């Protein structure tokens, strides 16, 4: 059976301020990471996840903001009905 392939890394050169480099080095030490590149990769991944969460949240907010009062009332009634379908836990 073939090994699953790992994402291939690409080598790039970037110029960063000394403050940014200092920050990345501190993060590397705190996280006990093997390299500054790994820290930078983690930070980018975290930022991408954060942006995606914000996009989803805005989409959900947009959906609920677009509902009419009648649709909100209907959703509330369906929610109350659904809650009544579970046995009482007390």
Parent domain of 41: 23-83
| pLDDT the model gives residue 54 | 98
Is residue 47 classed exposed, middle or buried when 0-12, 13-18 and 19+ CB atoms within 10 A define those classes? exposed
Asked, for residue 40, whether it belongs to a domain, the answer is yes
Asked, for residue 54, whether it belongs to a domain, the answer is yes
| Residue 8 reports pLDDT greater than 90 | no
pTM: 0.68
pLDDT in tens, 28-82: 999 999 999 999 999 999 999 999 999 999 999 999 999 999 999 999 999 999 9
Asked, for residue 8, whether it belongs to a domain, the answer is no
| pLDDT the model gives residue 88 | 78
| pLDDT the model gives residue 6 | 63
pLDDT in tens, 12-26: 999 999 999 999 999
Asked, for residue 6, whether it belongs to a domain, the answer is no
| Residue 89 reports pLDDT greater than 90 | no
Per the structure, how many domains does the chain have? Answer: 1
Res. 90 pLDDT band, cuts 50 70 90: low
Asked, for residue 17, whether it belongs to a domain, the answer is no
Asked, for residue 88, whether it belongs to a domain, the answer is no
Asked, for residue 69, whether it belongs to a domain, the answer is yes
Secondary structure element (H or E) that encloses residue 21, with its range:
helix 18-31
Asked, for residue 14, whether it belongs to a domain, the answer is no
């Amino acid at each position: 059976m073939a090994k699953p392939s790992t994402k291939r890394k690409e080598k790039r050169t970037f110029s960063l301020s000394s403050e940014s480099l200092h920050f990345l080095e501190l993060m590397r030490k705190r996280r006990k990471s093997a390299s500054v590149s790994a820290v930078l990769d983690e930070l980018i991944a975290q930022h991408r996840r954060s942006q995606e969460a914000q996009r989803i949240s805005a989409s959900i907010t947009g959906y609920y903001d677009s509902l009419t009062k009648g649709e909100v009332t209907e959703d509330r009634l369906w929610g109350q009905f659904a809650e009544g379908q579970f046995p009482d836990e007390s």
